[in-house]
Structures are given as structure tokens and as C-alpha cells.
């Protein structure tokens, strides 16, 4: 069984000239490996949270990217010894290996969840608490939004709204807990924070 811990709760604030945002950063321990999902963009905060876990970037085996937006993916490069995985490819320095479903060497399943981005994947972990999905930006909220489940909620960055709604429905169907790209972890059946 995997262990899942949110290291950084993602935040998103609209400013007069754009956005201030960094993704939720999740640490998963599975099959003897340390996996970071979406390392985000806030380097100082990430390094502090790793230190609190008695970890350094060299201790991370795999970095999983739900998608390639900078607020989720920018810090992947600080994990120089890690494999980097997206939903279909594992990168080991300049070597690419393709896979489907379960990330090799783990029990974690990559689930295709397009809509916010065409290449978007979410990551499913089986834990003692149930099925936890790290959803990236399938679900996300700004700091001033009420966090409630609304599969039709507008996403100003969505590439395909129809696909996004389908992805949201699928994750709500399979997950017990959902870790959004920005906002609090919530119970998929009630929409309330429960983790």
C-alpha cells in the first residue's frame, strides 16, 4: 500500500497583471520509492518541506508530471537523479521509455484525464485510506473561490471543456479522496476536505 502526503497545498491568485500560482506538491512512498507529483514552482517552500520529511532532492526516485504547465512542472530539474514520468513516458536523462497504466517499479496507475491540457494525466494510489487520486488541474480553485464539486465549473485554461467534464466524472467515480492541483484535498463523495 502506498503512503500519500501533501507537502504543499497548491495556491492560485489572480493579480492585476496575471497570476501568482504554484501547484499542490504530493509525496508518495510506494514500492520502496519516493515519488514527487508535480514539484511546482516555489523552490524555497519545496526544499523546506522536503527537509521537514528528512529528504533531499537526491532522495526522490521519480518525479511524476500531471501536465507541463510551469506552475506544476518547473522544478522537475532540481531532482537530478530522478526519473521523470508523465502519463506515458519515463525520461532517464536523455533516454525515453514508454509505458501504459502502471508506472514501472511501482503500484501507481497513470490515468489519462485530458481537458485542462491535452497531455493531462492523474495518478492513482491505493492506500489504507482508500483510493487517492492526485488530480493535477482536473480540479482546482483560486484562493477566493468556494471549494465545491461542480463538474461544469469553468476552467479559463481548459483546452477541451467536454473532455475536462468527462475526466472530472471519471475521477469522482473511482477515487475516495482527490488531491486537486490548487486547493484542499477532498472526499469525492461529499466534496469536503477530509485529508
**Per the structure block, which three cell numbers stand in for 41?**
514552482
The CA-atom distances, in angstroms, between 60 and each of 89, 177, 191 are: 18, 24, 31
Domain ranges of the chain: 3-187
pLDDT of the residue at 189: 76
pLDDT of the residue at 182: 98
pLDDT at residue 179 greater than cutoff 80 = yes
Q: What is the mean pLDDT of the chain?
A: 95
Q: What is the pLDDT of residues 50-69, one digit of tens each?
A: 999 999 999 999 999 999 99
> What pTM value is reported for the model?
0.95
Helices (H), 7-146: 43-52, 70-73
**pLDDT, tens only, 116-158:** 999 999 999 999 999 999 999 999 999 999 999 999 999 999 9
Q: What is the CATH number of domain 3-187?
A: 3.60.15.10
- Predicted pLDDT at 154: 94
**pLDDT, greater one: 93 or 192:** 93
Amino acid at each position: 500500500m502506498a503512503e500519500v502526503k501533501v507537502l504543499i497545498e497548491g495556491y492560485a491568485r489572480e493579480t492585476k497583471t496575471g497570476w501568482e500560482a504554484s501547484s499542490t506538491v504530493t509525496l508518495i512512498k510506494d514500492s520502496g520509492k519516493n515519488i514527487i507529483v508535480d514539484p511546482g514552482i516555489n523552490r524555497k517552500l519545496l526544499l523546506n518541506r522536503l527537509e521537514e520529511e528528512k529528504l533531499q532532492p537526491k532522495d526522490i526516485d521519480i518525479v511524476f508530471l500531471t501536465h507541463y504547465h510551469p506552475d506544476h512542472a518547473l522544478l522537475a530539474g532540481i531532482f537530478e537523479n530522478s526519473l521523470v514520468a508523465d502519463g506515458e513516458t519515463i525520461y532517464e536523462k536523455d533516454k525515453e521509455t514508454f509505458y501504459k497504466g502502471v508506472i514501472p517499479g511501482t503500484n501507481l496507475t497513470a490515468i489519462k484525464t485530458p481537458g485542462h491540457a491535452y497531455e493531462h494525466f492523474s495518478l492513482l494510489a491505493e492506500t489504507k485510506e482508500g483510493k487517492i487520486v492526485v488530480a493535477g488541474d482536473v480540479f482546482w480553485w483560486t484562493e477566493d473561490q468556494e471549494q465545491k464539486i461542480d463538474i461544469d465549473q469553468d476552467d479559463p485554461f481548459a483546452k477541451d471543456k467536454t473532455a475536462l467534464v468527462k475526466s472530472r466524472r471519471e475521477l469522482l467515480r473511482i477515487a475516495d479522496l482527490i488531491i486537486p492541483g490548487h486547493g484542499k484535498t477532498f472526499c469525492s463523495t461529499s466534496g469536503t476536505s477530509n485529508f
